[in-house]
Amino acid sequence: MLVRVRAASFLLPSTREEIAATIVKIGRLTSLCYEENNANMSETDVLGAVENNSEQIVSLLQELVQINTVNPYAGDADPGGEAAGQEYLAEKLEPLATDLHWLEVPQDIYTRSGVIGPAQRDFSGRPVLVTEFDFGGDGPTVVLNAHMDTVGADNMEIEPFSGEIRDGKLWGRGASDDKEGLSTIYGAIKSLLDSRAQLAGKIIFHSTIDEEANGSGAGALACLDAGYVGDSAIIVDGSTGSIAVGCNGCLTADVFVQGQEGHAARGKGISALEKALVVKTQIDEFAANLAARYPDCRVNIGIFEAGTIPAVIPGQARMSLSIVYPAAEAASSRESGTGWNGTLLRREFEESIAAACHRDDWLAEHPPTVQWVKDLIPFDQPLSLPLAEDLSRAYAEVTGNKIGVEQVTAWTESAYYQVLADMATVNFAPGQPGQPHGPREYVDIETVLDYTKTLTLYLYRALSVS
């Protein structure tokens, strides 16, 4: 069972005096949020609070970028992990929040959530931070999500943790994925509280881990598993230009092909590499058939490796690949009784690999094996989703520009919030297109502030006491 805790190493009040001070602080904040001043409040005042906080928002973003929170499985020589970033964010949020929770991600989180995720990942020392802002009254609960971990930084062309501000941009790893999301949420919440608007309902902020580096949203699943859910969810992760109301799913598989090692000079042996090429031909056929059905769904072999040294005939080969699939496939799987996932497509792929054995006597006696690493589920909502329409309207009023609403091809952990927790869910974030994971990653500061204003305006309208 997952226990909600504030671990001793993470800001736990250790004396009665500290506990009493915390209670007083919460009472003061609650009183502040209930002040009867809404008659004099306007949306202009709320947006003005964002302007007043703009330097703090940019400063928080800069300082987050300066903290190495590279996912431990990203492949860097010295990945920072998420803990230091989470502690820093907690220090900023604790004076504002009515409650703060540290979650340890259960090692079996994927199994208990009913999804396939990477096995044998260690989540110790990688806390999830959940903060609650309870305004009381009969209002909705809005969940906000962004992730703390980043991809690797060893091969960047700029100093990855400088947080340099230049030409209206902030540079560094995570600037566009997803520390701009964390900063946008922080700025919106702080501005709402500073405006002293009378609000009803609750905001729950999930700062999650293990979204990157072949992760499968373990931190988000832990939040849902612990019951931190609401009426709607806004995932502040992604790039500008659209509001996403759905995404494709993604399968990841390792295909192992056996050969027989031998001395290369004698020419006796069975090359696993050559046999893997036979299997690859079959994978290419599978990919073509999938694309004919779903043009936006692609198969990509990201890793193809075999052998040890040139003098030895390769005894084993591995292909690691991804398969993108649409919500229609998940619906078919559910109708078959196997759940909302890619089960039927997994079976189709395994049958395709088995067909390669009919082409080759060696493969017939030594069939390849398929190991499923991930099944990241898709989700699908109407383009006319009220949450998306309300956000779109707020964005247009803040920026003077329209923003599209669409289904996106890449996977996002928004799917968990919609499918597993039955919340209306969108992705809406100020990441710079083409910059996430890039060698010279940056984010446009003005865009971050525009998105912060938009989120603040939306939350004010959703939670305001009329």
* pLDDT at residue 4, as a whole number: 35
Q: Which of 324, 358, 376 marks a domain boundary?
A: 376
Residue 1 has pLDDT above 80, yes or no: no
Q: Convert the pLDDT of each residue in 333-374 to its tens digit.
A: 999 999 999 999 999 999 999 999 998 999 999 999 999 999
Q: With beta carbons less than 8 A apart as the criterion, state whether 179 and 64 touch.
A: yes
Backbone CA torsion sign across 282, 288, 289, 291:
positive
Residue 21 has pLDDT above 50, yes or no: no
- What does the pLDDT average to over 414-435? 98
- Residue-by-residue DSSP string for 196-254: T--B-EEEEEEEE---STT---HHHHHHHHTT---SEEEE--SBTTEEEEEE-EEEEEE
One domain, residues 78 and 205: yes
**CA–CA gap between residue 109 and residue 115 (Å, rounded):** 9
In a domain, 1, yes or no: no
40: confidence class by pLDDT, cuts 50, 70, 90: low
Reported as a single tens digit per residue, the pLDDT across 251-278 is 999 999 999 999 999 889 999 999 999 9
Q: Does residue 327 belong to any structural domain of this protein?
A: yes
Long-range contacts of 389-394 (CB under 8 A, 24+ apart): 390/458, 390/461, 390/462, 391/234, 391/243, 391/426, 391/428, 391/454, 391/455, 391/458, 392/243, 394/454, 394/455, 394/457, 394/458, 394/461
Q: How far is CA 314 from the centre of its chain?
A: 38
Q: Which domain holds residue 293?
A: 249-376
| CA–CA dist 103, 121 (Å, integer) | 16
pLDDT of residue 267: 86
Angle value at C-alpha 25, between 20 and 27, nearest 5 degrees = 95
The mean pLDDT value for 131-144 works out to 97
Examine residue 3 and state whether it is found in any structural domain, yes or no.
Answer: no
Q: Is 7 within the bounds of a domain? A: no
Residue 5 lies in a domain: no
Mean pLDDT of the region 90-111 = 97
Do β-strands 201-208 and 141-147 pair in parallel, antiparallel, or remain unpaired?
A: parallel
Average pLDDT over residues 137-143: 97
pLDDT at 60: 98
Same domain, residue pair 55 and 171? yes
Note whether 392 and 457 are same-domain residues.
yes
**5 — pLDDT class (breaks 50, 70, 90):** very low
Higher per-residue confidence, 432 vs 28: 432
425 & 382 share domain: yes
What is the CATH number for 397? 3.40.630.10
pTM confidence score:
0.89
Residues 189, 140 share a domain: yes
- Whether 305 is in a domain gets the answer yes
Question: Does residue 124 form part of some domain?
Answer: yes
- The verdict on 79 and 193 lying in the same domain is yes
Domain annotation covers residue 136: yes
Domain boundary among 376, 409, 444: 376
Tell me, yes or no, whether 413 and 363 share the same domain: no
Of 376, 392, 418, the last residue of a domain is: 376
Q: Is the peptide bond before 178 cis (omega within 30 degrees of 0)?
A: yes
Same-domain status, 421 and 274: no
Please report which confidence band the pLDDT of residue 41 belongs to, taking 50, 70 and 90 as the band edges: low
Q: How far apart are CA 189 and CA 93, in angstroms?
A: 9
Q: Are residues 256 and 351 in the same domain?
A: yes
Q: What is the pLDDT of residues 312-331, one digit of tens each?
A: 999 999 999 999 999 999 99
Do residues 123 and 107 lie in contact, with contact meaning Cβ atoms separated by under 8 Å?
yes
Write the DSSP assignment of 313-374 as a string of letters.
Answer: --SEEEEEEEEEE-HHHHHHHHHTTS-SSSHHHHHHHHHHHHHHGGG-HHHHHS--EEEEEE
CATH number, residue 292: 3.30.70.360
pLDDT: which is higher, 276 or 410: 276
The strands making up 249-258's β-sheet, listed across from edge to edge, are 299-306, 316-325, 249-258, 369-376
Res 38 pLDDT > 80: no
Pairing status of strand 424-427 against strand 165-166? unpaired
Contacts of 450 (CB under 8 A, 6+ apart): 395, 398, 399, 430
Q: 3-state DSSP call for residue 414?
A: helix
pLDDT tens profile 198-225: 999 999 999 999 999 999 999 999 999 9
Whether residue 44 is predicted with pLDDT greater than 70 in this model: the reply is yes
Residues 220 and 273 both lie in one domain: no
Q: Cβ distance 234 to 145 under 8 Å?
A: yes
Q: Are residues 68 and 185 in the same domain?
A: yes
- Taking the C-alpha atoms of residue 137 and residue 401, their distance in angstroms, rounded to an integer, is 34
Report the domain count for the chain.
2
Whether residues 240 and 253 share a domain: the answer is no
Amino acid 13: pLDDT = 41
Q: What is the pLDDT of residue 42?
A: 87
Question: What pLDDT does 20 receive?
Answer: 43
Q: What percent of the chain has pLDDT over 70?
A: 91
Beta bridge partners of 357: none
Query: What one-character DSSP code corresponds to residue 408?
Result: E
Sign of the alpha-carbon torsion through 112, 116, 119, 122:
negative
| Pairing of β 379-380 and β 169-171 | unpaired
